[in-house]
Amino acid sequence: MPFDGTYFPATTSYDTGLFPLWSRHGCRLWFHTRLRGKKQTAPTMLRAPTPAERGLAVADLLREAKDMIADPKDWTRRTYRSFGGQRCAVGALRAAAKRLEDPTIAWSAHTLLIDVARSRGFTNVETMNDRSSHAAVMAAFDQAIRNAERGPVSR
């Protein structure tokens, strides 16, 4: 019997690969959706961000992640983070997203990077990072930032 993966359940809305379940955002999202039910919001948090504000937050996150690996000596391949402190594109995005309260902004940024990677013929951001030059990865971040500033993320 060949292995085709049909016995595995479908992925959930919070299983994106960007934040594993044991990370801070993945655990928080799982905890809130499974155990707590509806989250109580403070009166100052009643207004949802507009699409323009959300696009700027995603662009800021992408800029911060790009700045982490702007120097080629801070960038690495085949691992999210090395012992020397170098990061790949997704590792930099994860590190920049640790300051966020809303993990959906990081997922939107990751979605934009996936779209750029797919437009270049790669299946995911990790493959693009591992098989491209540093300048090509920086150009991918620039393109994702432009897309974030242009309008809301679709998906």
What's the pLDDT tens digit per position in 130-149?
999 999 999 999 999 999 99
Whether residue 92 is contained in a domain is answered as: yes
Q: Is 19 part of a structural domain of the chain?
A: no
Pick from 27, 56, 79: which is nearest to 146 by CA?
56
Question: What pLDDT digit, counting tens, does each position of 34-73 carry?
Answer: 665 554 444 444 455 677 788 899 999 999 999 999 999 9
CA 92, CA 54: separation in Å to the nearest integer?
20
pTM of the model: 0.69
Query: Cα separation of 38 and 132, whole Å?
Result: 43
Residue 122 lies in a domain: yes
Domain extent, residue 138, equals 47-150
DSSP letter, residue 33: I
Q: Is residue 12 domain-resident? A: no
Residue 31 CA to residue 38 CA, distance in Å, equals: 11
